[in-house]
Structure 1
Amino acid sequence: MNKIESRHQLIRSLILEKKIHTQQELQELLERNGVHVTQSTLSRDIKLLNLVKINEGNSTYYVINSIAPSRWEKRLRIYMEDALVMLKPVQNQVVLKALPGLANSFGSILDAMEIPEIIATVCGDDVCLIICEDNQAALDCFEKLKQYTPPFFFSKR
């Protein structure tokens, strides 16, 4: 097991053992266990591990999000049907244009799905830039995403 995998395993254990309310609290617990991480690394770990904060009374704490990938796929299909304006591969990227205010939702769903071709998503108000390793990965990603669009979406163009 490499350093990152063991850190992720420790984070999962800590989350399951105790209610952790802040990133700083999690960072301190990791340090007590001999693991030193920066805040930015911890933020990436939280995203990769699909940790979310839930409300309980008047406090919030981290839990492991239990939404299964198939539910993310269903959610993506709904968003594609209701909010997709344009989907186009451009060099090593795929540009996804959405209705105003919904690009970040697309980005979050795509990140949660952990599609191997996607390195990162960068989202604004109505555009989600999907960054891939190279041109071929972008084309492969585009083809995968097309599967979630309504049948009429590309035929009407």
Structure 2
Amino acid sequence: MNAGVPTTRTARLSIVESIILHHVIESQQQLADLLADEGIQVTQATLSRDLDDLKASKVRTPSGTFAYAVPQGAQYAQSADSLVPGPRPARMATKAEQQLSKVIGGLITKVIAAQNLVIIHTPAGAAQYVASAIDKQPIADVAGTIAGDDTVMVIASDNQAAQKKRDWLLEMASNAR
């Protein structure tokens, strides 16, 4: 199993969700194989229950095949850092980005890059909601977020990535509808 990932049901659900968000998963066997690559062995019955718990469903991809998708705002956050993002259905990525844009457009008041950190200011009480919305996105070069009451700290892989994420967040917030 990945270093830093506990062997709990919640952690497994988080990894299943992350795999579905990062890859086009057309079958439970394909999902089971990717979980095995992460060091997680599951039975078909367990995997079926996990997909039900995540409210995963199959949606048509732009290529016409069907792949699993999880609803935006599912209760389990992503945590499988070692996953390499693969091709995802464009329609799902666009919807997720639009939803993130709406969240941050209405709640971000200021964004600053400081070394490899991006500091986001929000109205009081909104930081955890913004952090959760960011954490649910497969964003390259972002390790995760930490939220207080009105401030979110986004941890980027390096200083340059932090500057790019700051610019990206500001652009998304400015273009929110």
Fold shared per TM-score above 0.5: yes
* 1:81-100 alignment runs, 5 A limit: 81-100=105-124
- Indicate which of 44, 55, 61 corresponds to 2:53: 61
Contact 1:101/1:125, CA 8 A, preserved across alignment: yes
Q: Measured at CA, do residues 45 and 83 of structure 1 come closer, stay the same or move farther in structure 2, by a change above 3 Å?
A: same
Quote how far apart the aligned CAs of 1:71 are.
Answer: 2.0
Q: In structure 2, how many angstroms separate the alpha carbons of the residues matched to 1:92 and 1:103?
A: 19
Is 1:109 matched with 2:133?
yes
Q: Measured at CA, do residues 50 and 94 of structure 1 come closer, stay the same or move farther in structure 2, by a change above 3 Å?
A: farther
Task: State TM-score, norm by structure 2.
Answer: 0.52
Q: In structure 1, how many angstroms separate the alpha carbons of the residues matched to 2:161 and 2:113?
A: 10
Quote how far apart the aligned CAs of 1:119 are.
Answer: 0.9
Instruction: In structure 1, give the amino acid aligned to 2:15.
Output: D
Task: State TM-score, norm by structure 1.
Answer: 0.58
Quote how far apart the aligned CAs of 1:96 are.
Answer: 0.6
* 1:134-145 alignment runs, 5 A limit: 134-145=158-169
Q: In structure 2, how many angstroms separate the alpha carbons of the residues matched to 1:45 and 1:116?
A: 17
- Indicate which of 29, 34, 38 corresponds to 2:7: 38
Calculate percent identity across the aligned residue pairs: 21
Q: In structure 2, how many angstroms separate the alpha carbons of the residues matched to 1:78 and 1:84?
A: 10
Which structure has the larger Rg?
A: 1
Q: How many residues align?
A: 109
Show CA shifts across 1:93-115 (max 9, x none): 10011112211221122122211
Question: Partner residue of 1:127?
Answer: 151
Show CA shifts across 1:18-76 (max 9, x none): xxxxxxxxxxxxxxxxxxx612743642552479xxxxxxxx93323244222222222
Normalized per residue, the structure richer in strand is: 1
Normalized per residue, the structure richer in helix is: 1
Q: Measured at CA, do residues 41 and 76 of structure 1 come closer, stay the same or move farther in structure 2, by a change above 3 Å?
A: closer
Gaps of 5+ in 1: 5-36, 52-59, 152-157
Instruction: In structure 1, give the amino acid aligned to 2:7.
Output: T
Contact 2:17/2:54, CA 8 A, preserved across alignment: no
Higher relative contact order (CA 8 A, sep 6+): 2
Gaps of 5+ in 2: 22-51, 57-69, 73-91
Q: In structure 2, how many angstroms separate the alpha carbons of the residues matched to 1:70 and 1:103?
A: 23
Q: Measured at CA, do residues 127 and 50 of structure 1 come closer, stay the same or move farther in structure 2, by a change above 3 Å?
A: farther
Q: In structure 2, how many angstroms separate the alpha carbons of the residues matched to 1:129 and 1:107?
A: 8
Q: In structure 2, how many angstroms separate the alpha carbons of the residues matched to 1:141 and 1:123?
A: 17
